[in-house]
Amino acid sequence: MYCYKCGVKLEDSENKCPLCHTTLPKEKNSNALSAYSDKIDDIGKHINFRYITLLILLFLFISGFVTFLCNIFINGKPTWSIYVIASIIYVATQASFLYYKNKLISAILNLFGLEYLLFTIAYMNNGMNWYLYLVMPNIFIIWLLVVLTVYLFIKKKMRFTRAVSTFLFTIALILICTEVLIDLFSNSVVNLKWSLYASLPILIVCLVVFVISFNRKLINEIKKRIFL
Amino acid sequence: MESKKWMRLDNAALIYPPAVKKKYAMMFRLTITFKDKIDKDILAEALKNTLVRLPSFAYRLRRGLFWYYLEKIDGIPPILDDVKNPMRTINFKDNNYFMFRVRVYEKRLALEFFHALTDGTGGVTLLLTLSREYIRLKYGVETPYTEKILNLKDKPKKEEYEDSFKKHVGDFGSVEKEEAAYHLKGKQLPSHMLNIITGKIKINELKKLCQQYDCTITVFLTSIMFMCFQDIQNNNHDKKNKPIKISIPVNLRRFFDSVTLRNFSSYVNPKIDTKLGNYTLEEVIKEVKGQLEYMVNEKKLRSKFTGNVNMERKFYIRIMPTFIKMKALSISDYLMGDRYYTTTFSNYGLINIPLEMQKYVTDMGFMIGRSRNKHGAVACISCMNNLYITFTSRIYETEFERLFFTKLVSLGIKVSVESNQGGM
């Protein structure tokens, strides 16, 4: 088939002239494949989280610096702006989850950010005793348990039921650890009370879910009965 | 020879990595069409065997403190389905970190190279060696080796990796000042799309015509392009204050002793100045022929790349950290990369496909990817009595292509065209 305007021969795959865009009558029996695949390579709209994070942090740090300067001008020494700066550093460590692909780095940064924020508050209010013996270890233990659980979730690719039981177990552990630390801080003697009331039912549910997770048939039966 | 664990980028490749953007990377694509539908499993096997002989293609791009460098990798790139808009920027991670893509559409095999890895000669060597291995595995037929079809039983040679720019560098280098060139305007296509139009021409007919005008095919086709741009300027009443310039890549292996599979090419920019008046085809041919003779010779080319190598070797450039150097190169590429020519015309020339292999192959193709600031580029390859000339552009208007092919038709040459708009 020839384009009557351009005089060029069109390959069977063409149904209009690519040069002058004249539509030509399709020849009979032409089942020719198009010259290129119909698929389109489109990378879509990727959001550049790293860039956005850096931009947000830049604005936060600039505003933090301005706050600091205002504080110096008004009071002559840094007082309330220290809280603002500590909070900004904490937000920055939170934002690192968007920035780093390796989430462990962000998790460690996050721990330091939180500890630092609370340290600042304790230091400014003469509460170092409270901070060192209660808050710091407690936050560290909770952080460790949460990180370990998330690590297990990701690495072991658990079934839903087993993930639920692990989650419940972590909560029970956190409750017990918290009471132990509070007891040690206030009386130096461990006397578990409220955490047991809270964690025992949780542990029982956790155990039941854990046992059920081995029984596929039972899970299917439950699913069948209670599906929404 | 044990392949190197890492190597420096060659001198010509330095500009490509910093210029990479999500919407733009300097890419080119070589295709070969077989008579039967391609078997992807056999192709993967052939690719695995080929990369053992041609390890210079199994490198990934990494960023060092002062320069980018290439690091050896194992495995093969994934074999992808072909698309309507080829030569998008490679997402290295999705491509197993390889710097070339392998795409298959029915009977056609396409390799899309990031220019930092190799130039046309290296690309053709990989494509043909891979095709020979594929034919051997699929049909059990041994076909002959040529200069571009390497024997997989041989060991990789050291010379195939070398940076030939450094080897042939001279004592004196000068980078000549260029003037800005006329650019074609038009409505931009969406950033991920590319207009592709391929024309197939009988090489004998073209040769006869070239004999009439006493010039080579490259000179003739370039001259026709100059005429098209001149017509567009006249039709659109465009200002003629800037000359029309066409950048023609030159394979330096023709002038210097080298078998490298990495970049070893330069370019020349012949021009015509339409503000002096309208040129006829004969005048343009005379002009282009003279300019090419003046520019394409060993001494001029050596001084050109020596200037670039000297620049790379300057102490203050070497100690600049990568991120500063690359930002500077990226900006300079954006501002000046496409400023000095209207379009690029790369003529690979004739590819010698052995008779035994011709039974399994129908055609080949060569095209250049989306340009950064100019409207498009033209690439051309010849094999088995046919010449395939492919226009890629990033604008809707196809006036340039239409003028080019209608001019050839009016000179008595039969042209058949296909495009990526078919079936739309």
Count CA atoms closer than 13 A to A129's CA, side-chain side: 4
B264, B304 contact by CB (below 8 A):
no
Chain A nearest-CA distance from B36, in A, is 14
Which residue intervals of A128-193 are DSSP H helices?
128-130, 136-156, 160-186
Q: Cβ-count burial of B65 within 10 angstroms (0-12 exposed, 13-18 middle, 19+ buried)?
A: exposed
Nearest 5°: CA angle at B273, between B270 and B274? 130
B376 interfaces chain A, CB cutoff of 8 Å:
no
B381, B388 contact by CB (below 8 A):
yes
Q: Which residues of A112-145 are buried (b: 16+ CB within 10 A; e: fewer)?
A: ebbbebbbbbbeeeeeeeebeebbbebeebbbeb
Q: Do A35 and B82 touch (CB under 8 A)?
A: no
What backbone torsions phi and psi does residue B267 show, to the nearest 5 degrees? -150, 160
B64, B77 contact by CB (below 8 A):
no
B418 interfaces chain A, CB cutoff of 8 Å:
yes
Chain A residues whose CB is inside 8 A of the B198 CB are 35
CA distance B347 to B367: 10
- Nearest residue on chain B to A38, judged by CA atoms? B84
Q: Do B423 and A34 touch (CB under 8 A)?
A: yes
A89, A113 contact by CB (below 8 A):
yes
Chain B nearest-CA distance from A93, in A, is 25
Q: Is A145 helix (H, G, I), strand (E, B) or coil?
A: helix
A131, A119 contact by CB (below 8 A):
yes
B398 interfaces chain A, CB cutoff of 8 Å:
yes
Q: Round the average pLDDT of chain B to a whole number and report it.
A: 91
- CA B330 from chain centre, in angstroms, equals 20
ipTM of the shown complex: 0.84
Query: Between chain A and chain B, how many beta carbons pairs sit less than 8 Å apart?
Result: 101
Q: Do B418 and A35 touch (CB under 8 A)?
A: yes
Q: Cβ-count burial of B239 within 10 angstroms (0-12 exposed, 13-18 middle, 19+ buried)?
A: exposed
Please give the full DSSP string across B151-214, using - where no structure is assigned: -TTSPPPGGGT--HHHHT--S---------------PBPPTT--EEEEEEEEHHHHHHHHHHHT
Could you tell me the strand order of the sheet in which B100-105 lies? B79-81, B100-105, B108-114, B27-34, B361-368
Per-residue pLDDT, A203 = 94
Interface of A with B in 73-112 (CB under 8 A): none
Per-residue pLDDT, B424 = 46
Neighbours of A6 (CB within 10 A): 21
Chain A residues whose CB is inside 8 A of the B418 CB are 10-11, 13-14, 18, 35
Q: Express each pLDDT in B310-358 by its tens digit.
A: 988 888 888 888 888 888 888 888 888 888 999 999 999 999 999 999 9
Neighbours of A85 (CB within 10 A): 18
Q: Do A8 and B105 touch (CB under 8 A)?
A: no
Containing B109, the helix (H) or strand (E) segment is strand B108-114
Mean pLDDT, to the nearest integer, of B216-241?
A: 93
A45 interfaces chain B, CB cutoff of 8 Å:
no
Q: Is the pLDDT of residue B423 over 70?
A: no
Percent over 70 (pLDDT), chain B: 99
B372, B342 contact by CB (below 8 A):
no
Chain B residues whose CB is inside 8 A of the A43 CB are 22, 88-89, 91, 192
Mean pLDDT, to the nearest integer, of B21-37?
A: 91
Nearest to B148 by CA among B131, B164, B165, B167: B131
Q: Do B417 and A10 touch (CB under 8 A)?
A: yes
Structure tokens at B21: 């953007």
- Nearest residue on chain B to A12, judged by CA atoms? B418
To the nearest 10°, report the CA torsion of B219, B225, B227, B229: -150
B194 interfaces chain A, CB cutoff of 8 Å:
no
Q: Do A8 and B415 touch (CB under 8 A)?
A: yes
Q: Do A39 and B409 touch (CB under 8 A)?
A: no
B28, B112 contact by CB (below 8 A):
yes
CA distance A218 to A223: 8
A37 interfaces chain B, CB cutoff of 8 Å:
yes
Chain B nearest-CA distance from A196, in A, is 50
Q: Do A7 and B406 touch (CB under 8 A)?
A: yes
Low-confidence ranges of chain A (pLDDT < 70): 26-31, 43-46, 228
A193 interfaces chain B, CB cutoff of 8 Å:
no
B119, B254 contact by CB (below 8 A):
no
Per-residue pLDDT, B20 = 85
Strands B361-368 and B79-81, how do they pair? unpaired
Give me the sign of the Cα torsion angle B51, B57, B60, B65.
positive
A35 interfaces chain B, CB cutoff of 8 Å:
yes
Q: Is the pLDDT of residue B24 over 50?
A: yes
A39 interfaces chain B, CB cutoff of 8 Å:
yes
B377, B344 contact by CB (below 8 A):
yes
Interface test with B, best of A36, A38, A45, A54 (most B CBs within 10 A): A36
B421 interfaces chain A, CB cutoff of 8 Å:
yes
Q: Is the pLDDT of residue B195 over 60?
A: yes
Task: Give chain A's radius of gyration (CA, Å).
Answer: 32
Q: Express each pLDDT in B375-411 by its tens digit.
A: 999 999 999 999 999 999 999 999 999 999 999 999 9
